[in-house]
Chains A and B, each alone.
Chain A
């Protein structure tokens, strides 16, 4: 910009500098505005479904099907929430999801994956890397390939309609988390292990007294991701559970959606469904806001080292 002024007069004076600087200020400001506008636009697009969910959850049925659509319900029908929560035994579903499914699985995952990852990282033994390669390789097997035989096995074991098929495999390691923990364990200096061995510490002792305390951040990621994965799991419970009393929250939502198809459905069904959806999403969002950093690190680590 200064060059223009210079070419016109052969040199530039204070006025030219000022006007060029002002022009730059204006274009910078416009750029900033455009950037923020883009951000805000896309943020609305990303968040819109949730806002609509929340808004729908507070409407009665007439409001929900109104044309033109009502963005902010007036009056807000807060009763949708207690009504929706008493329609189906949600406390039972939540108990199933958390106590019967999530907690045992998370404990199993953390325990087994730590032990296995230790074997793949802190001890040098022949064939170790080949075995690890096989371990990772299993992640590529489409679950549909094992889905049918596993169902047949569990049926023979009489484990259908219990949480055993879902929880027990966690105690035998989950390749995704074995991978994650192994990468982390590898980054701990060998000297620590060697020093402990010289002092006569057993491998198990090294694992529990040195490695695990150092691995707390990685274990936090494992626990977090595993919990969220289980909270969201739909196909597993769909295949193995069919009695209502055993259902987790995921299948409870299914039940609710099915009542949409019933002719002569209850009033305010749309609002109820959205209310339950809001309740189910809320824990995930809350957990996320408190553990953001852990989340991002966890996703990034597996993505790059992979």
Chain B
């Protein structure tokens, strides 16, 4: 018989662990093991049909030195991270401010601006494809009927990424809601004091509204960057990485290697590099945030 004192804290520990056991088991099986396994696979050549074959650092060497898709993929993904993500956050902020003004039917407008973000990507993609179609799309049909040149939104490499970025801004409803909540948390008294001090609308916006919304902006920037590196569905459905690989983002290339080329080992190496980048970016943005984020409560 074990003479273990069943103190309250020990009992509570057992109870706590029991309650979280579903998650713990899932974590071990569906998170920890796959993460470690993919690390192992990244050092192998594995195409499902044959067994995994250990090849050491070959995948990583190929990734950094040989693969000539990597520079393109990296450039595309960084473009997205540095331009599209901040653009989305700024757009959401501006629209949230618009939605915070006193107008009639405000809930109706808020709903309209929010809906694009809950529409499934598999519907939004073909609809946008159809809308922006170079030959049959609404915009281009209209232009060509007036004798003007059509705009090849999704079929010309220089235009494809900016077009995707604009569609991304269209779907910022969730971010708008978060900014709305942040805007409503700004104390009215601050605005009143500023008015008394003679501040005009622009000054009030820039010196009160913007700083007090920086915590929300930080959250959205981090989650946006993490999402940028992982975003797959919409791009795959809309352009499959085209035209001419101009929208071949990291996650699209990863999927292609894993499930189209069946290069599971190489895909695992790509995935681990992605993991490290995401961690680095998150930590980097979080650390730099001390400079530009204003926490009212601290």
**Bound CA span A145–B41, Å:** 11
Residue of B whose beta carbon sits closest to that of A256 = B126
Task: Confirm or deny: B90 has a beta carbon within 8 angstroms of a beta carbon on chain A.
Answer: no
* Separation of A254 and B125 alpha carbons in the complex (Å): 11
Within B133-157, which residues are at the interface with A (CB < 8 Å)?
Answer: 135-136, 138, 141-142, 144-146
Which residue of chain B lies nearest to A207 when distances are taken between CB atoms in the complex? B19
**Which of A22-30, A76-84, A187-195, A228-236 has 4 or more CB atoms under 8 Å from chain B?**
A228-236
B165 to chain A, nearest CB (A): 15
Those of A209-251 within 8 Å (CB) of chain B? 228, 231-232, 234-235, 239, 250
Which of A120, A123, A142, A228 has a CB less than 8 Å from the CB of B12? A123
In the assembled complex, which residues on chain B have CB atoms less than 8 Å from the CB atom of A39?
Answer: 98, 103, 109
Confirm or deny: B124 has a beta carbon within 8 angstroms of a beta carbon on chain A.
Answer: yes
List B contacts of A145 (CB < 8 A): 34-35, 38, 268, 271-272, 274-275
Is B30 a contact partner of A289 (Cβ separation < 8 A)? no
Contact A234/B268 with A112-B23, A145-B35, A274-B130 known, Cβ cut-off 8 Å: no
Kindly provide the distance from the CB of B28 to the nearest chain A CB, expressed in whole angstroms: 10
In this complex, what residue of B is CB-closest to A270?
B130
On whether A169 and B30 interact (CB within 8 A), knowing A123-B15, A128-B16, A304-B178, the answer reads: yes
Contact (Cβ within 8 A) B20 A148:
no
Tell which of A38, A142, A150, A304 touches B275, judged by Cβ atoms closer than 8 Å: A142
A67 engages B145 (CB within 8 Å): yes
Residues of chain B in range 1-47 having any CB-CB distance to chain A below 8 Å: 9, 12-13, 15-20, 22-27, 29-31, 33-35, 37-38, 41
CA distance A149 to B36 in the complex (A): 9
Binds A, one of B54-62, B68-76, B226-234, B288-296: B226-234
Which of A47, A142, A152, A203 has the most B CB atoms < 10 Å from its CB?
Answer: A142
Bound CA span A147–B268, Å: 9
What residues of chain B lie closer than 8 Å to A172, measured between beta carbons? Answer: 22-23, 25-27, 29-30
CA distance A144 to B226 in the complex (A): 12
Interface residues as binary, A146-187 with B (CB distance below 8 Å gives 1, 0 otherwise): 111111110100000000000001011101001000000000
- Most chain B CB inside 10 Å of its own CB: which residue of A39, A46, A148, A151: A148
A47 to chain B minimum Cβ distance, whole angstroms, is: 6
**Is A148 a contact of B181 with CB atoms below 8 Å?**
no
What residues of B have a CB within 8 angstroms of the CB of A10 in the complex?
none
Which one, A1-9, A12-20, A98-106, A132-140, is touching chain B? A132-140
By the criterion CB–CB under 8 Å, are B112 and A43 in contact? yes
Question: Which residues, 37 to 59 on A, are CB-close (under 8 Å) to B?
Answer: 38-39, 42-43, 45-50, 52-53, 56
A66 within 8 A of B: yes
Residue of A nearest to B18 (CB): A119
- Residue in contact with A292 in the complex, picked from B111, B180, B216, CB distance below 8 Å: B111
**Shortest distance from the beta carbon of A46 to any chain B beta carbon, whole Å:** 6
* Cα–Cα distance between A33 and B126 once the two chains are bound (Å): 35
- Name A115's contact: one of B9, B22, B112 (CB within 8 Å): B22
A68 interfacial contact with B, CB 8 Å: yes
Residue with the highest number of chain A CB atoms closer than 10 Å, among B12, B122, B226, B279: B122
With an 8 A cutoff between CB atoms, is B63 at the interface?
no
Q: In the complex, what's the smallest C-beta–C-beta distance from B21 to chain A, in angstroms?
A: 8
Within 8 A of A (CB), among B112-128: 112-116, 118-124, 126-128
Give the residues in chain A near B271, CB-CB below 8 Å.
Answer: 142, 144-145, 147-148
A49 and B127 within 8 A (CB): yes
A35–B290 Cα distance when bound, in Å, is 36
**B85 contacts across to A, CB distance below 8 A:** none
A65 at the interface (CB under 8 A from B): yes
**Bound-state Cα–Cα, A292 to B173, Å:** 13
Given contacts A169-B26, A173-B22, whether A235 and B233 have CB atoms under 8 Å apart is yes
**Residue B95, interface by CB 8 Å:** yes
B259 within 8 A of A: yes
| Interchain CB contact under 8 A, A35 and B103 | yes
- Report whether B98 and A38 are in contact in the complex, using a CB–CB cutoff of 8 Å: yes
A53/B127 in contact, CB under 8 A: yes
Kindly state whether residue A110 has any CB partner on chain B within 8 Å: no
- Give the residues in chain A near B259, CB-CB below 8 Å: 239
Q: Any chain A CB within 8 A of the CB of B282? A: yes
Instruction: Tell me, yes or no, whether A74 is within 8 Å of chain B by CB.
Output: no
- 12 new A-B contacts, CB < 8 A, other than A138-B27, A235-B232, are A66-B141, A67-B141, A125-B17, A138-B31, A142-B230, A144-B251, A146-B31, A151-B258, A153-B33, A153-B34, A285-B115, A303-B174
When A and B form their complex, which 5 residue pairs have the shortest distance between CB atoms, in order from nearest?
A: A172-B26, A119-B19, A68-B145, A125-B16, A303-B178
